Amino acid sequence: MNLAVTLSGQSQKLELKNPILTASGTFGYGLEFAPFGDLSSLGGFIVKGLSLKPRLGNPGPRIVETTAGMLNAVGLQNAGVEYFCRETLPKLPTNQTNVIANIYASSVEEFAELAAILEHEPRIKALEVNISCPNVRQGGVLFGQDAKMAAHVTKACRQAAPNKFLIVKLSPNVTDIAYIAQSVEGAGCDCISCINTLQGMSVDLKSRRPMLANVIGGLSGPAIKPVALRCVWQVAKAVKIPVIGVGGITSARDVLEFILVGAWAIQVGTANFMRPQISFELIKDIPLLCEELNITSLTELRGSLKVS
Ligand SMILES: Cc1cc2nc3c(=O)[nH]c(=O)nc-3n(C[C@H](O)[C@H](O)[C@H](O)COP(=O)(O)O)c2cc1C
């Protein structure tokens, strides 16, 4: 079965050998997962969020397990975009698969600056703009919760990186995700990924303290899959550009469910911590499951949900 998919955006295209991508922050910079499978077999991988300057992230504890998921408040720890381009990027298999940069900034100007730096980096095939991080004091999810701000950031990145495939990553922590999606589409992005984590918290009864030093964190994993499916379905109906589904995916069945509600590709996140070889396994599992379910192609399945 041919799993190849072309994401056709408003001004750029991205060719994937299959719809399996890995989600930012859950797959390191790719190399950490090389012992578990062939990185070049993936449709692509999205590196940990990059900022203009190095960031230490939040104090610990920054991660806690929850029922069917996890909470994190890492706070976008990273060594900065320059270090990444100089030290990490040359080691990545950029000729064999799509390496996608996820970017975070606390102002529109900084977003544009980051996009402009990566525009001149041919080894990066696409940018994913994170306007949905719940774990930082400035910017983050605030950009993604306001349709005008979301459009403003998107437009600035579009202008700064006209030749990159531009993905905007949306937050589920909003009243009307379809409205935000239409607004970033109107600002020129090529693709939308949804969802980032849901805001949540965990507490310890004995100490009467929050489990995370940051008190609030982002919930991810199987617990959020129904929310992610709902968001992808609503967004896919509202926009013309392709949508990438993210949230709680742990099996080929989950992947096909996201495609059924309209996704063109998917990202595997928290499942990488549970089973580091999972993203590689899914590529083999999807054709087998399609055969079992009499699905002849992903194109035939995409968006074919019957609702009446
Ligand atoms: C530890 C951790 C770190 C993350 N870091 C980022 C990040 O840097 N940028 C980003 O856009 N999303 C980040 N995310 C969100 C994931 O990319 C993904 O959107 C979310 O976890 C939902 O997918 P999942 O349920 O499959 O994990 C992070 C998630 C986790 C669990």
How does pLDDT run across 87-108, given as a tens digit for each residue?
A: 999 999 999 999 999 999 999 9
In CATH, the number for domain 5-301 is 3.20.20.70
- The whole-number average pLDDT for the span 251-255 is 98
User: Could you report the per-residue pLDDT of 4-53, keeping only the tens digit for each?
Assistant: 999 999 999 999 999 999 999 999 999 999 999 999 999 999 999 999 99
Please enumerate in sequence order all residues whose Cβ is within 8 A of that of 143, keeping only pairs 6 or more positions apart, or say none. Answer: 131, 132, 149, 150, 153
Q: Whose CA is nearest to atom 6 of ligand 1?
A: 25
Active-site residue, from 85, 133, 189, 194: 133
Angstrom distance (rounded) from CA 147 to CA 198 = 18
Q: Where are the domains of the chain?
A: 5-301
User: Could you report the per-residue pLDDT of 211-250, keeping only the tens digit for each?
Assistant: 999 999 999 999 999 999 999 999 999 999 999 999 999 9
Kindly tell me if the per-residue pLDDT of 198 is higher than 80: yes
The C-alpha angle 193, 24, 61, rounded to 5 degrees, equals: 125
Atom of ligand 1 nearest to the CA of 72: 1
Cis peptide before 195 (omega within 30 of 0): yes
Q: Tell me, what amino acid is at 39?
A: L
| pTM flag (> 0.95) | yes
- The whole-number average pLDDT for the span 74-90 is 95
Ligand 1 centroid to residue 25 C-alpha, Å: 5
Atom of ligand 1 nearest to the CA of 49: 8
Instruction: Determine how β-strand 98-103 pairs with β-strand 126-130.
Output: parallel
Is 191 catalytic? The answer is no
Angstrom distance (rounded) from CA 58 to CA 268 = 24
Q: Tell me, what amino acid is at 25?
A: G
Q: Whose CA is nearest to atom 8 of ligand 1?
A: 49
